[in-house]
Amino acid sequence: MDTTKMIKAYCLKTKEKNVPMHDAVITKTARGGYIANGNEGKVNKMADIMS
């Protein structure tokens, strides 16, 4: 799988940086920003605030 175009985020449970996010869903926040929610390929949930 090509991980160069995947969203990379910080996993709070495993304390790892730049973990590729699987099944990412990008939504707009109430203040107008964007957030990506997904998982790391297992059961750990991840979130990343986008610019």
DSSP letter at 21 equals: P
- pLDDT at 1 exceeding the cut of 70: no
pLDDT the model gives residue 34? 95
> Comparing 36 with 5, which gets the higher pLDDT?
36
Residue 47 neighbours by CB under 8 Å, 6+ apart: 9, 35, 36, 37, 38
At 7 the three-state DSSP class reads coil
pLDDT confidence of 3, banded at 50, 70, 90? low
- pLDDT at 48 exceeding the cut of 80: yes
Q: What residue ranges do the domains of the chain occupy? A: 8-50
9-47: pLDDT as tens digits? 888 788 888 889 888 899 999 999 999 999 888 888 888
